[in-house]
């Protein structure tokens, strides 16, 4: 898989830059990495604090599959980021995947992933944009979402080194996904999941659910068991009871 790389000192958003490139007719795969974002975004339109010193990058990845299949790349990316963080911290058991797309170190968020689609003229999407932020030197303070950084975990590393390792890790996991399908990715994600088999809280736009995280379904939805029933959840914020 051939992937170009473009570096910026500052960009509004690496995802936005990928969208501009795709909408301009670009047909390949490309990494966009920036030292700073002036308008970084997280899930559900939340601001992603993007001060210099942390890692901000997006992969514009050409797809030839339906949207449901393309959404599996969220879990592919999570495994790739988890491996990079585990390698840098020289740890494994404490590095976990949090549904749907965060990476935790000792229960604290160190990375987030944002997937979007884009296509020329708003037609059937031609690309998936995989935005990745990793707390390298610092982290935002939010009581609801305890966070950490590589530096706070005792390791100083340059964002350029993170990019090099992430590019290799993403290529590895994308190759495994293409060769073996989502079943392998799903199992690998479950093997490294936080909260699986435990009681959790899931906050949705109009309700809050409490139950046991029993499984991940074949489409990547979280299966929550409560009040004698099972519900498949495709979007929400997870908190640990």
Domain end: 156, 172, 191, which one?
A: 191
Chain centroid to CA 180: 20
CATH number at residue 235: 2.30.30
Residue 208 Cα distances to 22, 43, 97, 120, angstroms? 37, 18, 21, 38
Q: What value does the mean pLDDT of the chain take?
A: 91
- Based on the domain organization, do 123 and 208 belong to the same domain? no
CATH number at residue 166: 3.30.930.10
What is residue 2's predicted lDDT score, i.e. its pLDDT? 66
Q: pLDDT by residue (tens digit) across 188-233?
A: 999 999 999 999 999 998 999 999 999 999 999 999 999 989 999 9
Q: pLDDT by residue (tens digit) across 45-60?
A: 555 555 778 999 999 9
Most confident of 43-52, 119-128, 187-196, 232-241: 187-196
């Amino acid at each position: 898989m051939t992937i170009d790389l473009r570096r910026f000192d500052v960009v509004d958003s690496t995802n936005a830059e990928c969208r501009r490139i795709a909408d301009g007719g670009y047909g390949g795969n490309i990494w966009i990495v920036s030292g700073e974002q002036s308008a970084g975004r997280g899930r559900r339109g939340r601001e992603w604090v993007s001060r210099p010193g942390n890692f901000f990058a997006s992969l514009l990845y050409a797809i030839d599959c339906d949207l449901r299949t393309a959404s599996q790349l969220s879990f592919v990316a999570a495994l790739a980021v988890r491996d990079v963080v585990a390698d840098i911290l020289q740890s494994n058991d404490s590095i976990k995947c949090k549904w749907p797309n965060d990476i935790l170190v000792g229960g604290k968020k160190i990375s987030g992933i944002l997937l979007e689609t884009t296509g020329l003229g708003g037609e059937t999407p031609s690309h998936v944009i995989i935005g990745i932020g990793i707390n390298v030197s610092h982290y935002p303070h939010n009581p609801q979402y305890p966070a950490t950084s590589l530096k706070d975990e005792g390791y100083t590393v340059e964002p350029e080194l993170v990019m090099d390792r992430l590019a290799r890790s993403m290529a590895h996991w994308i190759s495994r996904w293409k060769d073996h399908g989502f079943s392998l990715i799903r199992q690998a994600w479950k093997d490294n999941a936080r909260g699986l088999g435990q009681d959790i809280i899931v906050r949705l736009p109009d309700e809050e659910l409490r139950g046991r995280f029993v499984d991940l379904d074949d489409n990547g939805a979280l299966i929550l068991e409560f009040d004698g029933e099972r519900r498949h959840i495709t979007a929400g914020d997870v908190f640990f009871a």
